[in-house]
Amino acid sequence: MRIAVLLLAVVVVCAWLNPSAAEPEKKPAAPDYKRDVAPILEMKCNRCHTQNKAGGKLITTSVPAMLKGGASGPSIEPGSPDKSLLVELIHYNEMPPKREKPRVTPEELKTIKAWIAAGASEK
């Protein structure tokens, strides 16, 4: 019994000395457009979504262009990845078009969604 009390005291003191251990995990910083998001779009989308060749009238080379969107309206909805057409089409494997490579990986989609959730800032 005495040992149990002692162990408990050690645990309490450790938690007190290291308060971060008791806190919930910190959220990772929001992805950065230029560093994290633009390279994915560059590699997997821009081939078909530029000024000169804009599938669905959509340009994916800048944030304002994606906010404006294409034939179906805005492609991204800042703060709401699940309402963003761009996310929806990647999610359902509609973009890039079915037989096109390279595909967007689940990790990349997660990055894009986190960026939109954080407000889709271009900074």
Footprint of ligand HEC (CB under 6 A): 44-45, 47-49, 55-56, 58, 60, 69-72, 75, 85-86, 89-90, 95-97, 100, 104
CB of 32 to ligand HEC, least distance (A): 18
- Rounded distance between C-alpha atoms, residue 34 and residue 62, angstroms: 10
Please choose, from the candidates 2, 13, 33, the residue with its C-alpha nearest in 3D space to the C-alpha of residue 112: 33
Nearer to ligand HEC, 32 or 56 (CB): 56
CB of 41 to ligand HEC, least distance (A): 6
Contact 74, 86 (CB under 8 A): no
Supply the DSSP string of 73-104, one letter for each residue. Answer: B-S--TT-GGG-HHHHHHHTT-SS-TT-SSPP
Nearer to ligand HEC, 17 or 78 (CB): 78
CB of 117 to ligand HEC, least distance (A): 16
